[in-house]
Amino acid sequence: MKKLSKNTLNGFINYALVVVLFIVFQILASAKVLNNSMTGLLIPICCYVVMALSLNLVVGFSGELSLGHAGFMSVGAFGGVVMSTYLSNAITIAPLRLVVAVMFGALFAAAAGVLIGVPVLRLRGDYLAIVTLAFGEIIKNIMNCMYIGRDSKGLHFSLTDEASLNMEAGGVTIVNGPMGALKIAKISTFASGIVLILITLFIIQNLVNSRAGRAIAGIRDNRIAAEACGVPITKYKLMAFVTSAAMAGAAGALYGLNYSTIVPKKFDFNTSILILVFVVLGGIGNLRGSIIAAIVLTALPEALRQFQDYRMLVYAIVLILVMILTNNEKAASFISGMVKKIKAPKKEAKA
């Protein structure tokens, strides 16, 4: 049971880290240390942290490269926004409506995850990566020509144009094709983002340390051996994929409800890659790393605003440096040596 307690301890450190970050950012924001644009980034940061954590479940624990993660975020974002607008009269309490919208976002994304996962998870490695990339683009393009409106009769859907929604006079178009969702009631809050991160952490950490999580990790380490142990491969790959998609959908809903307009183009290949960068940079299979990488890399472009034209150049250099420093053995031993030197005097002082 010693190992279990070590894992539990690691989990609690992650929860504590998130809570501490929440308090720190809350204080910084209320003390006006953060400028406006930084304060505006707090909720997107939460969304990206959830995205990175959920992608880590697929890439780190299930060991499959998925390049279409932004697609699920897109499904969740539009699903959540539509539900939120649809229920705006039925549920007047904004936080409750947010919870319901996020849950619907997760549900829609999970459904998309099942639809895509069943055919796609027969593939492995590079092939899977390519097909998930394609599916991410397909979702984006479907969203690009999706028209959803609402009138007294209920919701109307169309894939051609706004006129074909056939709404009564006074009907409201919620999603207007390439223009995206308009006039969204902004109901996301920083606190709700933190709660979503905590829920995501809770699900992933507990899943990984259970029977299902062991099966998922076993399939990653050795598929043939897992099969020979009686583990149904497709079921557990799908479980990881769909759980990950659902959490991405929840993050998407939170993200969508933070802006007054969102366009489908936002959730393209670049966003998928950005999230993958968070995961790889934070360490594949390392949840704490994903959290930190998502925060730093989302805030970095904002912090680098003073470099103006050279902003993306500096961003790229920072990425390269971090990659080298974390993956180079000499650099790693140098850093650990430095850490030891710093820690050693403290220990002596204690003794």
Partner 1 sequence: MSENIKKREEVKLVSVPSPYLVPERNAGKGLVLEANHLGIDFGGLTAVDDFNLGISPNEITGLIGPNGAGKTTVFNLLTKVYQQSRGTIFLDGKDTMGMSATQVNKAGIARTFQNIRLFDKLTVEDNVKIGLHNSINYGMWQGVFRLPIYWKEEKKAHDRVLELLSIFDMADMADMPAGSLPYGAQRRLEIVRALATEPKVLLLDEPAAGMNPSETAELMENIGKIRDEFGIAILLIEHDMNLVMGICEGIVVLNFGKIIAKGTPSEIQNNPVVVEAYLGKSHDEETADQGDDTEAGKTVDTDKGGSSRNADAGKKADAGKGKNRKKGGRR
Stretch 184-243 residues interacting with partner 1 (CB under 8 A): 202-203, 206-207, 210-215, 217-218, 221-222, 224-233, 239
Which of 104, 83, 97, 60 has the alpha carbon at shortest distance from 276? Answer: 60
Minimum gap (Å) between residue 217 Cβ and partner 1 = 6
Q: How far apart are CA 124 and CA 63, in angstroms?
A: 9
Supply the DSSP string of 151-176, one letter for each residue.
Answer: ETTEEEEESS-SGGG-PPTT-EEEEE
Nearer to partner 1, 214 or 265 (CB): 214
Do the beta carbons of residue 129 and residue 273 sit within 8 Å? no
Task: Name which position in 1, 90, 169, 342 contacts partner 1 (CB under 8 A).
Answer: 1
- CA–CA distance from 304 to each of 79, 94, 226, 271, 312 (Å)? 34, 35, 47, 19, 9
**Residue 239 Cβ, how far from partner 1 at the closest point, in Å?**
6
Q: Which is nearer to partner 1, 153 or 235 (CB)?
A: 235
**In the complex with partner 1, which residue's Cβ is closer, 228 or 349?**
228
Q: Does 5 bind partner 1 (CB under 8 A)?
A: no
Q: How many residues bind partner 1 (CB under 8 A)?
A: 29
Nearer to partner 1, 41 or 50 (CB): 50
137, two tokens? 């683009």
Q: How many residues does the chain have?
A: 351
DSSP string, 65-84: --S-HHHHHHHHHHHHHHHH
Residue nearer to partner 1 on the CB measure, 222 or 270: 222
Q: Which candidate, 141, 120, 142, 143, places its Cα nearest to that of 65?
A: 120
Q: To the nearest whole angstrom, how small is the minimum distance from the Cβ of residue 218 to partner 1?
A: 4
Contacts of residue 315, defined as CB under 8 A and 6 or more positions apart, other chains included, come to: 300, 301, 304
Min CB(120)–partner 1 separation in Å: 19
Could you say which residues in the range 125-144 bind partner 1, by CB under 8 A? Answer: none
Residue of 166, 171, 113, 175 whose CA lies nearest to 143: 175
CB nearer to partner 1: pick between 21 and 216: 216
Task: State the nearest-atom distance from the C-beta of 265 to partner 1, in Å.
Answer: 35
Shorter beta-carbon distance to partner 1: residue 182 or 207? 207
Give just the sign of the alpha carbon dihedral 137, 138, 139, 143: positive
Nearer to partner 1, 185 or 203 (CB): 203
Q: How far is the CB of 211 from partner 1 (least distance, A)?
A: 5
Pick from 305, 271, 291: nearest CA to 46? 291
Contact residues toward partner 1 (CB under 8 A) are 1-4, 202-203, 206-207, 210-215, 217-218, 221-222, 224-233, 239
